[in-house]
Amino acid sequence: MAIVLKPKKSETASAVPTTSDLAVGEICMNVADQKIYTRKSNNSIVVVSSHVSDTVGGDLTGTVSNAQIAANTVGITELNVSDGSAGQYLTTNGSGTLSFATDSTNVGGTSVGGDVTGTVSNIQIAANTVGITELNVSDGSAGQYLTTDGSGTLSFATDSTNVSGTSLGGVLGGTVGNATIDANVVGVTELNVSDGTNGQVLKTNGSGTLSFTTITPGVTEATATSKAVTMAIALG
């Protein structure tokens, strides 16, 4: 008849035996903690077996009782699937079998809509679609400007420096909020036109294009000058 050995045990979590519970060399188990204890000849109680808190390694991190799959360790080798070809995607048959397949539906070429344009593989934000709602910022008051704290947080603030009242220089006069072109500063360089030759006059084609032209024979200089002045007034 087989002899059954039944060491002392406890099923209370975190319970640890004392010297009054064990003789030297005697063992006991804490079933709840999955640990085996014994009493040494120096009367100390030690754990002689416990795998619960042992550290795991390889593709795992943590302990035996709380193992985690390490980051960036699961690839083709770890998956139960045969590798596919470049550009294929991972799919399932709905019954637990993985495989690689070609994108026969051309998802990358599918058009997108709403606030974006283009295709799935080349999405663009549509013009005039990003406003207060799309930004991660609370709306401000009329006249405030958008600013950042340099750490990724946007907010609206009042123009305490009065930028609109700042004086302008160079060929401009007035302020940022009321800029004016100084007198006698607009010449051929400032106009969107190629310079002509001596005596030519400035004309327009009526569609916003300026050019220099020679006065047509038979047209008096006074008439041409009058027309040029009229055109200059029309151009502002």
Query: What's the angle, vertex CA 108, arms to CA 105 and CA 110, rounded to 5?
Result: 70
Count CB atoms within 10 A of the CB of residue 8.
13
Residue 94 buriedness (CB in 10 A; 0-12 / 13-18 / 19+): exposed
* Dist CA 86 CA 79 (whole Å): 17
User: Quick one: pLDDT at residue 33?
Assistant: 82
Radius of gyration of the chain (CA): 42
Q: What tens-digit pLDDT sequence spans the chain (236 residues)?
A: 678 888 899 999 989 999 999 999 999 998 888 888 999 999 999 988 766 677 888 888 888 778 899 899 998 989 999 999 998 889 999 999 999 988 777 778 888 999 999 998 899 999 999 988 899 999 999 888 899 999 999 999 887 777 777 888 888 888 888 889 888 888 888 888 899 899 888 889 899 898 989 887 655 555 656 655 565 555 55
Q: What per-residue confidence (pLDDT) applies to 225?
A: 60
pLDDT on residue 124:
94
Please give the structure tokens belonging to residue 63. 């302990």
C-alpha–C-alpha distance, residues 116 and 132, integer Å: 17
46-79 residue pLDDT tens: 988 766 677 888 888 888 778 899 899 998 989 9
Question: How far apart, in whole angstroms, are the C-alpha atoms of residue 5 and residue 141?
Answer: 82
Give the residue among 92, 111, 91, 94 at the shortest CA–CA distance from 102. 91
Model confidence, pTM: 0.30
